[in-house]
Every structure is written in structure tokens, then in C-alpha cells.
Amino acid sequence: MKILIVEDEPKVAAFIKRGLTENDFETEVAFDGYIGKQIFNSGNFNLVILDINLPQLNGIELCKAIRSVNANVPILMLTAMGTTEDKIAGFDSGADDYLLKPFEFAELLARIKALLKRTQQRPVENHILKVADLEIDIDSKEVKRGASKIMLTAKEFMLLEFLVRNKGKVVSRVDIAEKVWDLNFDTGTNVIDVYVNFLRNKIDKGFAKKLIHTHIGMGYIIKND
């Protein structure tokens, strides 16, 4: 587990480095923002600890720079400034957590572990999407309306998934064509209409509450109310 520490005060940097090393992390230290950026790009880091007050490139700027090349790596901001505005600025630039100096090492460690735990757990997502009494399971590809199971073909499922992921929004045929059929120009086909019809037969037919609605001239929408 590799951690990059960007901190210009040598004492603080050494303090963090020693503590992390004792807890079996690999660390690298950069003493200014510019070097921090270079080191980050050269290595594969699992987490970044960032002081806000840095020479060359301040923490906020560095944070944005890191985010622009890596949207995922957890970033923990460190600073002496304590106003709420500073914190908000930190979060806005893409930081995931914020710790005020002076801090106890145990708290830093706890926050690092929490951040790492979170990023490791990402794959466990909620893979069941719902609209009213309709449930669609992205993993097992199972679809249920109320208690009854519904069998969908691949394309039907893709279309339904797209609609449900945009529930409450009217999606245009062009959107659907691009996202579900991967058509980027108008081929003059009516497949979409046909498949919406298929879906309606399987999902809405026989139910009082229709979920799929047409907005003429605009597109289709799935919603519950």
C-alpha cells in the first residue's frame, strides 16, 4: 500500500512518514507541490496526503491536478487553516477527507484506513434498480413486476436498463439509439419504437399503473407516479 506525502514542513513530513512506515505502508515524501505532482505521476499510489500550504503549487491546485489524471485515488487534505471555507474549497477541488493540524497520528491513521477501506469496497454496489413495483437486477438480469418474474431478451433488457437508469427523465430516441444500439446517426429505422412496444407488452400490459410513457416529439420516460 503506497502513500504519497506532500508536505513542506520537514518535521511534520517525517512524523507522518515514520508513523506510516511503522504501520506497514510504503511512503514517498515531496516537499513542494510541483515535485509532488511529478512523483505522483511517476508512481502508482494508493493514497495521497496533501498539505494545503505548499511552495510552487498549493494543495488545492495540486489536488485538482491529481484529480484530472486520476479520478479515483483517495486524497486527504491537511492544513493549519481551519475555516469552513477552507474545508469546502478542499472538498471542491476533489479531496475525500480533511484533517486539521495539529492532529494525533492515531486519527490520521484511522482516516487513512477508512479511506482505503472505502475505495477497496467499491465493487460492492447496489445492483438492483427499482421503479415503483418493478425491479431489475443488473447482475442476474432478472426482472420482476410485483411478484411475477418477467423474461426479457438482451436488447429488451438493455433498453429497460437505460430507461430505468434515467427514470424520471424523458430520453430522446437519439439518446436511446446512441446508448443502446450504438447508432450515432439517423438510419431511419424504427427499432426503438418496436422495442418499446415489446417492453410495454411484457412490463405494462395487464397492470393498472403504466410505467413507460411517451412524450410525443420528445421521447420516452419511465416513472412511477
Please report, as ranges, the residues that interact with a second copy according to CB under 8 A: 44, 71-72, 74, 84-85, 87-88, 91-92, 95-98, 104, 106-107, 110-111, 113-114, 117-122, 124-126, 130, 139-141, 153-155, 157, 168-170, 215-218, 221, 223
Instruction: Give how far the C-alpha of residue 47 lies from the chain's centroid of Cα atoms, to the nearest Å.
Output: 16
DSSP type of residue 13: H
Residue nearer to DNA on the CB measure, 119 or 187: 187
Pick what 187 binds: a second copy, DNA, none; C-beta below 5 to 8 Å, kind-dependent.
DNA
Residue nearer to a second copy on the CB measure, 35 or 129: 129
CA atoms of 109 and 22, how far apart (whole Å):
11
Pick what 190 binds: DNA, a second copy, none; C-beta below 5 to 8 Å, kind-dependent.
DNA
Pick what 122 binds: DNA, a second copy, none; C-beta below 5 to 8 Å, kind-dependent.
a second copy
Terminal-to-terminal C-alpha distance of the chain: 48
CA atoms of 21 and 40, how far apart (whole Å):
18
Q: Which three cell numbers stand for residue 201?
A: 407488452
Residues that bind DNA (CB under 7 A): 151, 153-156, 173, 181, 187-191, 193-197, 200, 214-219
Shortest distance (Å) from residue 160 CB to DNA: 11
Residue nearer to a second copy on the CB measure, 44 or 184: 44
Query: What is the CB-side half-sphere exposure of residue 222 using CA atoms within 13 A?
Result: 21
Residue nearer to DNA on the CB measure, 39 or 174: 174
Closest by CA to 48, choosing from 57, 56, 58, 59, is 59
Q: What angle do CA 62, 64, 66 make, to 5 degrees?
A: 70
Pick what 214 binds: a second copy, DNA, none; C-beta below 5 to 8 Å, kind-dependent.
DNA
DSSP type of residue 188: -
